[in-house]
Amino acid sequence: MARRITIWMLCLVAIVVWTGLVYAQTAKPGTMKTIKLSSGEEVYDLSGDWDAFVENYGEQARFGTYPQVFRITQTGNTFNAIRLKDNPPPSPGRAGSPSLRGELGTNGFKAVWMISGGGEPRPCKGQISEDGKRIVIDSGMNRVTLTRSEDRTPLVGMWRLLTFQREYQATGERFGIVAPASATELVRGNKLRIFP
């Protein structure tokens, strides 16, 4: 009888601890970083390192999908970003080369340009999340999803997926890629499947 009570108490303690951990992870405050300009206007503060997930499509699909890191520097309401790593071949972008530039307004982007690996600026549409920790920029040929480097949790599976994808591409073997690498991975046997 004492053994049953001990087991039930351990289960109860485990449930309480698990519930507390889940609550602690989801209860992060959504404080947004902003800068107050001399004009009194308040804009997002984008400065810092951002994890970038680059998806090329359409006529740019040959450059593939890959992770990158951008460093954004901001002066007032204008910003510039550089790549911190080389883009994987055949994409020509090198570490230290410009990747983004733009101008911010109170509600997000006034204008934003994605700068290709070859150095040509492309006008884009961009959207900043309400908490300022996620940015999606789309040029019509490629899409970049930026997440603040200190908030890596959403991209952990994506990093592993892209590492697998690059290894398979390097060996020249063909695997069952079902859709563009934009979501979760499912590995069964020797086939890598990607679902949107």
Residue pLDDT, tens place only, 162-194: 555 555 555 554 444 444 443 444 444 444 444
Judge if 23 and 59 occupy the same domain. Answer: no
Name the domain count of the chain: 3
Strand partners for 111: 103
Asked if the model's pLDDT at residue 80 lies above 60, the reply is yes
Same domain, 104 and 64: yes
**What pLDDT does 166 receive?**
59
Mean per-residue pLDDT for 126-139?
Answer: 89
Say yes or no: 25 and 54 in one domain. Answer: no
User: Does 19 or 171 have the greater pLDDT score?
Assistant: 19
Instruction: With beta carbons less than 8 A apart as the criterion, state whether 147 and 51 touch.
Output: yes
Q: Are residues 2 and 60 in the same domain?
A: no
Listed in sequence order, the residues at least 6 apart from 67 whose beta carbon sits closer than 8 Å to its beta carbon are 51, 52, 53, 54, 155, 158, 159, 162
pLDDT for 20: 73
Say if residue 57 is in the same domain as residue 128. yes
Residue 40: band (very low, low, confident or very high) from pLDDT cuts 50, 70, 90: confident
Same domain, 50 and 142: yes
> 137-153: per-residue pLDDT in tens?
999 888 999 998 765 54
Query: Same structural domain for residues 141 and 98?
Result: yes
Residue 113 shares a structural domain with residue 61:
yes
Instruction: Please give the single-letter amino acid code of residue 176.
Output: G
Whole-number pLDDT of residue 189: 43
Q: Quick one: pLDDT band at residue 154, thresholds 50, 70, 90? A: very low
Q: Which amino acid is at 124?
A: C
For 76-180, strand residue ranges (E) read 78-83, 98-105, 108-115, 121-128, 134-138, 142-148
Contact 127/144 with Cβ under 8 angstroms? no
Q: What are phi and psi of 50, to 5 degrees?
A: -130, 135
Question: CA 188 → CA 46, 122, 175, 181, 194, distances in Å?
Answer: 40, 39, 11, 16, 11
Please calculate the CA angle 38-147-22 and round it to the nearest 5 degrees: 115
Tell me: do 82 and 127 sit in the same domain. Answer: yes
Q: Judge if 54 and 98 occupy the same domain.
A: yes
Same domain, 121 and 83: yes
Do residues 46 and 71 lie in contact, with contact meaning Cβ atoms separated by under 8 Å? Answer: no
109 and 65 assigned to the same domain: yes
Residue 146 lies in domain: 35-150
Position with higher pLDDT, 30 vs 111: 111
Check pLDDT > 80 for residue 155. no
On average, the pLDDT of the chain sits at 76
pTM of the model: 0.61
Please report, for the domain that includes residue 138, its CATH number: 2.40.128.20
Element (H, E) at 24: helix 2-26
